[in-house]
Chains A and B, each alone.
Chain A
């Protein structure tokens, strides 16, 4: 390759490659001495070296315009944390994808209890997300004590989100601002496959069952109880201050009333109903395969709306305002926080681009219908009388999903 061979003018003169190498200190000691000796006695090469130095200086001066200046380079520690968070999210997404794409399993395994001893694990994930999203809600205003705030979900509003917008900026780790503690009672999880009567006894609301199932869905059903849970978040000013300093947000001021303020989330027991041609009965051993098989997969979730309360001197609105004041809050989270309507209880439901979403009316209440035609999956979610209902299945047929949702009685 001609390009790779340094060209020499003649046996003794230095070519530009050698001159540049000399400039950059890339020649060996012997080569450097030889080159210097030659430059001392060869005016042509010395002139070449001089013009090369000038030209190089011009080139690299021009390139410094491209930046960045040292203070524009993000803090390494912060960047590492962001990458670690991204890896965590990626791993979680892959786990979910593996669950969805496993041919022998349900496409909606997400809605299923994963382990007999932890039937509510996914719910805790949801709860944590809900806590994150809702803990920053403003005062409901109806309560006598102006410092007390109470909120529960009344309605979902689909909001298109670009997953990218959650990547830039600080995440939403409540642990960075205080102490999070979630306790959940597993008193009901000892019942591996509860009967309908046992479920109704555990729930504080009336169980609704569908009068109509989409074609191809088996009529056998299985119940999985979701435990009650109680979570608290106590704002810790020192911890928050350290985190802000670490993430380059030192200028953010922390409202004094947030110090030590405690926010709670209460989750009442709920249920997931799984349909199939054949479901495991209560008298079967726990070691046998769980869940239902055969036919199109179909699920119904009935979960009381979590209740968020501010129990200290700071209101939920104070906390939300503080979160929104963080300059590095990711744009996606910011958008969701801003979209929560405290007075009406409308909560934004983030919808990624590949999901089609539309607002629908189910049981007289506003709901959201989501479908993913590429995976033939669909779900309807709505809230009525304090209960969040989810009807989901391996179909993207909107009419079928809505008919089933409306047939709950």
Chain B
């Protein structure tokens, strides 16, 4: 009984496209990883998400006709996966905190180089910023995250699906909201 050739398992890209895929990966991996990390704050999780994004790109290449569209597609998928992962983790941590009264966080290499006290402060600060960010409506989180890693308005518009001319106002509103919530929270903490 021989194995019949199974065309379903063939990659969706041909050998030439394999090279093109490697080129896209090489060009955008740092950006995708950075965005995933900003969303999740976990080195391993960011790596998993970045891998998943490119796996999807490989399996079902987007119909992107320009670099802007390609970059926008990668960032949209990364943000979706990243924010989903963060939401799930926050729910899990909420339950774990209730059970164990402690939060397990990944210590980044940067934080690991600090002394233990600085390390705790750095981790707490990052967790706090992420928590403030997660209070915003998801679209606003996305505007800020995409802008923070240097996407242009055209790319942000493409990733989110709005008119490029609207991005400025939407971003302004998101920044204002983030800042308002940040100050509310810090004031509440001090009180």
State the A residues within 8 Å of B (CB).
3-7, 15-21, 24, 26, 52, 55-56, 58-60, 62-69, 71-74, 76-77, 79-80, 82-83, 86-87, 90-91, 94-95, 98-99, 105-106, 109, 112-116, 167-168, 289-291
The minimal Cβ–Cβ distance linking A332 to chain B, given in whole angstroms, is: 14
Known pairs A19-B172, A68-B43, A72-B43; list 19 more (Cβ under 8 Å): A3-B173, A15-B169, A21-B167, A21-B168, A24-B147, A26-B152, A58-B179, A59-B144, A63-B145, A64-B148, A65-B129, A66-B38, A67-B37, A68-B108, A73-B33, A79-B33, A94-B9, A105-B1, A114-B2
State the B residues within 8 Å of A (CB).
1-3, 6, 8-9, 11, 22, 25-26, 29-30, 33-34, 37-38, 41, 43-44, 46-48, 50-51, 54-55, 58, 108-110, 122, 125-126, 129-130, 133, 144-145, 147-148, 152-153, 162-163, 165-173, 175-176, 178-179, 182
A20: chain B residues at CB < 8 Å are 168-169, 171-172, 175
The minimal Cβ–Cβ distance linking A287 to chain B, given in whole angstroms, is: 10
Contact across chains for A82 and B152 when beta carbons are under 8 A apart: no
Contact across chains for A116 and B2 when beta carbons are under 8 A apart: yes
Partner pick for A63 among B2, B43, B46, B144, CB 8 A cutoff: B144
B43: chain A residues at CB < 8 Å are 68, 72
B109: chain A residues at CB < 8 Å are 69, 71-72
Whole-angstrom CA separation of A112 from B1 in the bound complex: 8
Main secondary structure of the interface of A (DSSP, over half): helix
Contact across chains for A24 and B153 when beta carbons are under 8 A apart: yes
B168: chain A residues at CB < 8 Å are 6, 17-21, 24, 26
Contact across chains for B51 and A98 when beta carbons are under 8 A apart: no
Whole-angstrom CA separation of A218 from B42 in the bound complex: 54
Whole-angstrom CA separation of A92 from B64 in the bound complex: 29
Contact across chains for B6 and A98 when beta carbons are under 8 A apart: yes
Contact across chains for A4 and B110 when beta carbons are under 8 A apart: no
Whole-angstrom CA separation of A86 from B54 in the bound complex: 11
Contact across chains for B172 and A87 when beta carbons are under 8 A apart: no
Which residue, A26, A67, A105, A289, has most C-beta atoms of chain B within 10 A?
A67
Main secondary structure of the interface of B (DSSP, over half): helix
Evaluate whether A114 and B51 lie within 8 angstroms (CB atoms) in the complex, with A71-B109, A73-B33 already known.
no
Evaluate whether A59 and B9 lie within 8 angstroms (CB atoms) in the complex, with A24-B153, A72-B43, A73-B33 already known.
no
The minimal Cβ–Cβ distance linking B18 to chain A, given in whole angstroms, is: 9
A15: chain B residues at CB < 8 Å are 169, 172
Question: What are 18 A-B contacts with C-beta separation under 8 Å?
Answer: A4-B169, A7-B169, A17-B171, A17-B172, A55-B175, A55-B179, A63-B129, A65-B122, A67-B41, A68-B43, A72-B43, A80-B29, A87-B58, A95-B3, A105-B1, A106-B1, A114-B3, A289-B1
Evaluate whether A17 and B110 lie within 8 angstroms (CB atoms) in the complex, with A62-B182, A67-B37, A76-B26 already known.
no
The minimal Cβ–Cβ distance linking B88 to chain A, given in whole angstroms, is: 15
| CB-based nearest A residue for B162 | A4
A105: chain B residues at CB < 8 Å are 1
Whole-angstrom CA separation of A16 from B110 in the bound complex: 35
A-B interface, 10 closest residue pairs, ranked by CB to CB distance from nearest = A17-B169, A21-B168, A16-B172, A17-B168, A291-B1, A4-B166, A6-B169, A20-B172, A68-B37, A114-B3
Whole-angstrom CA separation of A109 from B2 in the bound complex: 10
Contact across chains for A83 and B55 when beta carbons are under 8 A apart: yes
Whole-angstrom CA separation of A114 from B5 in the bound complex: 11
| CB-based nearest B residue for A95 | B9
| CB-based nearest A residue for B50 | A79
B30: chain A residues at CB < 8 Å are 73, 76
Which residue, B29, B37, B122, B168, has most C-beta atoms of chain A within 10 A?
B168
Whole-angstrom CA separation of A65 from B128 in the bound complex: 10
Contact across chains for B25 and A5 when beta carbons are under 8 A apart: no
A290: chain B residues at CB < 8 Å are 1-2
| CB-based nearest A residue for B26 | A76
| CB-based nearest A residue for B51 | A83
Contact across chains for B34 and A86 when beta carbons are under 8 A apart: no
A91: chain B residues at CB < 8 Å are 9, 11
